[in-house]
Amino acid sequence: MTGGDFVTTGDGCRIAWRFDGPEGAPVLLLSNSLGTDMGMWDSQIGAWRDRFRILRYDQRGHGRSDAPAGAYSLDRLGRDVIELLDALAIDRVDFCGLSLGGMVGQWLGIRAPERLRRLVIANSSGFMGPPESWDARIALVREQGMAPLAQASIDRWFTAAFAQAAPDAIATVGAMLQATSPEGYAGCCAAIRDMDMRRTAALISVPTLVVGGSQDPATPPAHSEALARTIPAAELVMLNAAHLSNVEQSAAFADACQSFLA
């Protein structure tokens, strides 16, 4: 780690961040999925740290960032990124986000394209209905905490073959899920519930790579294909993985992103 701290957003939420990689290199900003923290990117850091100045942060409600009470919005999660960049005096970045992080990336591509050089949207979607399913998940986590969701998430995030072959990776992600604030998780669920970028993604003008998982039940291949069709001139790469493709296919994911960003 070459520095790490917090920035405080306009609404008083502390957002945790850290840098890896050499000063002066192009900045690559990484945005984590629902239920994880910036550690979900650990397997990519070795592949990218020589080429990029890697900036990671914990989504509000996750990791070391604050978890304010109440529903969050995708606008708020996007503004967290803008305020982080402003606080660190960074004008433009390459951005790579997975799942919820990819939704934040879409928002940035639509609302703040001047802050992006290139955009990677992985295992994500422009819409994840129906709202009732998210309301049920919010109610469950507020009543029973993260435990009931942790194993269910693991089962959807990785193929059975990977879960059997890589128990340490599974345990690491499971620990992230268990450590996530129920209030923060519920707040981000509300942001996903209320978003719909199926049409506005057509406004994304920055060069974009969409990465999907061929065995992803959370954001199935059709979601990645729809994003790639909607975003002008987007490229699509499908990996043999479930939802956390950067963990399950860490080398292939790192290579695909680095080739695109280069």
**Among 29, 18, 11, residue whose Cα is nearest residue 66:** 11
The pLDDT score that the predictor gives to residue 4 is 76
Structural domain boundaries enclosing 209: 5-261
CB 30 within 8 A of CB 62: no
Written as one string, the DSSP assignment of 193-243 is HH---TTGGGG--S-EEEEEETT-SSS-HHHHHHHHHHSTT-EEEEES-SS
Work out how many domains the chain is built from and give that number.
1
CB 49 within 8 A of CB 41: no
- The CATH number of the domain holding residue 150 is 3.40.50.1820
**Among 59, 72, 54, 96, residue whose Cα is nearest residue 191:** 72
Is 2 in a helix, a strand, or coil?
Answer: coil
Q: What are residue 22's phi and psi, to 5 degrees?
A: -75, 140
Q: What is the pLDDT of residues 102-151, one digit of tens each?
A: 999 999 999 999 999 999 999 999 999 899 999 999 999 999 999 999 98
What strands, in cross-sheet order, belong to the sheet with 14-20?
Answer: 4-8, 14-20, 53-57, 27-31, 93-98, 116-122, 208-213, 235-239
- The band of 235, judged by pLDDT with boundaries at 50, 70 and 90, is very high
Tell me the one-letter amino acid at 131: P
Instruction: Please enumerate in sequence order all residues whose Cβ is within 8 A of that of 171, keeping only pairs 6 or more positions apart, or say none.
Output: none
pTM of this structure: 0.97
Tokens of 110: 């639509």
Q: For residues 28 and 18, what is the distance between their CA atoms, to the nearest angstrom?
A: 12
pLDDT(64) > 60: yes
